[in-house]
Amino acid sequence: MKFPNPHTLKQIAKIIDCNFVGDDNFPVLGMNEIHVVTPGDIVFVDHPKYYDKALNSKATIILINKEVDCPQGKALLISDDPFRDFNKLTDYFKPFQSSNSSISNSAVIGKNTVIQPNCFIGHNVVIGENCIIHSNVSIYDDAVIGNHVTIHAGTVLGANAFYYKKRPEGYDRLKSSGRVVIENDVDLGALCTIDRGVSGDTIIGEGSKLDNQIQIGHDTIVGKKCLIASQVGIAGCVVIEDEVTIWGQVGCTSGVTIGKKAVIHAQSGISKSLEGHKTYWGTPAQEARIELKEKAYVKQIPEISSELKKIK
């Protein structure tokens, strides 16, 4: 998330009431999670295991819970609770705005787009031309939808990321300030849920087609011309490259990449990145031909056992 206007390190430190290391006027342009940071961004880190990753990332301002050596050209915000203060900044720069109408006055809706009854269109939503939004679709604030998009009944775009920190009193949610971006010529089935990015974008690429009852997690990127069948669950921060086919009830863990033109058979479980141009099956998913060979070998065990008994 980029701020509406550049801020200084001193101004940011005042907002969250913390100390800082660096020049008062050090420029701060936005805030992001580590996988999408760019120079000028704040990234937060609250565990020593990830200090080096944060300090050496593209972020130039590190919100951290311990004063450490500051890399050249960067600045530190020293907080006793970086998670809490990252949320404070989200509330400050992107506060929740309630709605008093089904379609916000700030929404922009393109020519020849049809919006069926009982839909909700939030603040600053942009919908392109020649789209059909069927009944009971909810499109949260800031979503961007391209041209020639069809969204079927009951689909929800832009709910919060499933991202929590465990505390003694319960779970504390990391607040979401990102967007959902649906590119041109996408079809979304009924009852799909696509979560907004924590600070960046969740993207469904041009020409992709999603069946009913599919969950796409925060900051996931689905490439162009992908096919995803019903009841697939994709966790956050996944990259699905172009022309991937995922059949029904596949589950995918967070932070992995599925390569271009990969095919994932139904009910597979994806626990690691998969190369493109291959077909996968099973849990954990592996190349389908290997999985099928192994199952064939397993079926031979009774026969082999019987033959061994005869030998004895």
Residue numbers annotated as active site: 218
**In Å, what is the CA distance from 49 to each residue of 52, 53, 54?**
8, 8, 10
Q: Taking the alpha carbons of 70, 74, 76, 81 in that order, is the dihedral positive or negative?
A: negative
User: For residue 142, how many other CB atoms are within 10 A of its CB?
Assistant: 21
Q: How many residues make up the chain in this entry? A: 312
Alpha helices in 47-142 (DSSP H): 51-55, 82-93
Angle subtended at Cα 253 by Cα 251 and Cα 256, rounded to the nearest 5 degrees: 120
**Calpha distance 250→230 (Å, rounded):** 9
**Calpha distance 26→6 (Å, rounded):** 10
Closest CA to 260 of 222, 290, 228, 291: 222
Burial of residue 280 (CB within 10 Å: 0-12, 13-18, 19+) is buried
**Calpha distance 242→208 (Å, rounded):** 9
**In Å, what is the CA distance from 294 to each residue of 146, 286, 298?**
45, 11, 6
Helix (H) or strand (E) segment spanning residue 133: strand 132-133
